[in-house]
C-alpha cells in the first residue's frame, strides 16, 4: 500500500545522498564517515547508511584499509552523459583544439551556474601550469575573465546581486570597489572581451570572450589562461581577436545570428 508518510523520508534520503556526493572535492577527494557527518551536520548513522547505499551502485567506494570513501566510477559515467549532451561542449570542442594547436596555450570553456562559472571543457597546452582549473570547478564571477565577460552581458539585476554578495579580494589586483567594478564591466561590453591579470591568483592571466545561444543571451565563455609573464599585452590582444572568432563560431552553431540593420 502506498504510504504518503514515506515520501518526505525518501526525499530527505535523496537530499542527503546528493549532499554527500557533492562534499567530495579535488582538494578533499577522500573522507571518512565522521568527517562527512560533521561537515554536513548529519548523524554518523545517517551518513553510514547513505554511503552504504551509494557504494552498492558504485557512486562511492570504500578503501578497505583506511575505511575512508571516495567517489566511484558511476559518477564518472553520469558526467560522460552530461558532457555528451551539453550542446556548448559539443559545438566548441574542436574549435578549442584548433586554438591550442595554433598558440600552444591552455583554453577552457565555462558556463554560468548561479553566481559562479563552471568549467565544462579544458584543453592543456604542452607546457601547462598548475592553476587548479579542473572540470567542474566553480570560480567567482568578479575576478576571472570568463566570469566577468559573462556577467557583463547579464541583466542589471544579476550584476547587482553579485555586487551585493561582496567582491571578495583574492589578490591585490582584485577589483573590490563596486563603482570601479561597474565601470569595468562597461568597458568589457564595449570591447567584447575581458581580461584578468592576477585577480584570482597571482601570476596567472587570462582572456575571455562571450558565447551566445539562439536566444541571444550570453551563456558561456571561451578562455585562454597562462602565466602572466608569458601573457604580454601584445599577446593578449592577439588572443582576444582569435578567441572572438572562436566565440562567434560557437555562438553561430548554437543558433545565434547577428541582426543586420
Q: What is the pLDDT of residues 192-220, one digit of tens each?
A: 999 999 999 999 999 999 999 888 899 89
Which position has the higher pLDDT, 194 or 128? 194
Residues ≥6 apart with Cβ < 8 Å to 228: 197, 198, 203, 204, 205
Residue pair 71/24 in contact (Cβ under 8 Å)? The answer is yes
Cell numbers of 86, please?
Answer: 551539453
pLDDT category at 7 given cuts 50, 70, 90 is: very low
For cell 597571482, name the residue.
202
Cell numbers of 174, please?
Answer: 582584485
Mean of the pLDDT values across residues 239-249? 92
Query: What domains, with CATH codes, occur in the chain?
Result: 6-74 (1.10.10.10), 86-253 (3.30.450.40)
Angle (CA) 136 142 144, round 5°: 55
d(CA 144, CA 151): 10
Residues ≥6 apart with Cβ < 8 Å to 56: none
Neighbour count for residue 220 (Cβ, 10 Å)? 30
Q: Which helix (H) or strand (E) holds 222?
A: strand 218-227
Statement: residue 2 has pLDDT above 60:
no
What per-residue confidence (pLDDT) applies to 238? 94
Residue pair 223/146 in contact (Cβ under 8 Å)? The answer is yes
Which position has the higher pLDDT, 3 or 112? 112
Strand-pairing partners, residue 38, are none
Backbone angles phi, psi at 136, to 5 degrees: 90, -5
Statement: residue 10 has pLDDT above 50:
yes
Residue-wise pLDDT for 157-181, tens only, equals: 999 999 999 999 999 999 999 999 9
Backbone angles phi, psi at 245, to 5 degrees: -65, -40
d(CA 59, CA 201): 33
Mean of the pLDDT values across residues 30-50? 91
Statement: residue 221 has pLDDT above 80:
yes
Percent of the chain having pLDDT more than 90? Answer: 43
- Evaluated on CA atoms 231, 234, 237, 242, the torsion sign reads negative
Provide the mean pLDDT of the chain: 84
Least confident of 11-15, 17-21, 72-76, 197-201: 72-76
The two beta strands, 106-113 and 116-123, are antiparallel
Percent of the chain having pLDDT more than 70? Answer: 82
Mean of the pLDDT values across residues 84-102? 72
Which position has the higher pLDDT, 181 or 128? 181
Own/partner contacts of 45-52, CB < 8 Å, gap of 24 or more, are 46/16, 47/16, 47/20, 50/13, 50/16, 50/17, 50/20, 51/20
Mean of the pLDDT values across residues 93-113? 87
Residues ≥6 apart with Cβ < 8 Å to 26: 132, 134, 137
Amino acid at each position: 500500500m502506498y504510504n504518503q508518510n514515506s515520501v518526505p523520508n525518501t526525499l530527505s534520503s535523496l537530499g542527503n545522498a546528493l549532499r554527500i556526493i557533492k562534499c567530495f572535492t579535488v582538494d578533499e577527494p577522500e573522507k571518512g564517515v565522521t568527517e562527512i557527518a560533521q561537515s554536513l551536520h548529519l548523524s554518523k548513522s545517517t551518513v553510514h547508511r547513505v554511503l552504504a547505499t551509494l557504494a552498492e551502485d558504485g557512486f562511492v567506494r570504500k578503501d578497505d584499509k583506511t575505511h575512508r570513501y571516495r567517489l566511484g566510477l558511476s559518477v564518472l559515467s553520469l558526467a560522460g552523459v552530461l558532457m555528451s549532451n551539453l550542446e556548448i561542449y559539443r559545438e566548441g570542442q574542436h574549435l578549442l583544439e584548433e586554438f591550442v594547436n595554433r598558440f600552444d596555450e591552455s583554453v577552457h570553456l565555462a558556463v554560468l551556474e548561479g553566481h559562479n562559472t563552471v568549467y565544462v571543457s579544458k584543453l592543456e597546452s604542452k607546457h601547462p601550469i598548475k592553476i587548479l582549473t579542473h572540470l567542474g570547478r566553480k570560480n567567482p564571477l568578479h575576478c576571472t575573465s570568463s566570469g566577468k565577460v559573462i556577467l557583463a552581458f547579464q541583466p542589471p539585476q544579476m550584476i547587482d546581486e553579485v555586487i551585493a554578495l561582496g567582491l571578495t579580494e583574492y589578490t591585490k589586483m582584485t577589483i573590490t570597489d563596486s563603482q570601479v567594478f561597474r565601470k569595468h564591466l562597461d568597458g568589457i561590453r564595449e570591447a567584447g572581451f575581458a581580461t584578468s591579470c592576477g585577480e584570482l591568483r597571482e601570476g596567472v592571466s587570462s582572456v575571455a570572450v562571450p558565447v551566445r545561444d539562439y536566444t541571444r543571451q550570453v551563456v558561456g565563455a571561451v578562455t585562454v589562461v597562462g602565466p602572466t609573464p608569458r601573457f604580454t599585452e601584445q599577446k593578449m590582444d592577439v588572443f582576444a581577436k582569435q578567441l572572438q572568432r572562436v566565440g562567434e563560431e560557437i555562438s553561430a552553431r548554437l543558433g545565434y545570428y547577428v541582426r543586420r540593420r
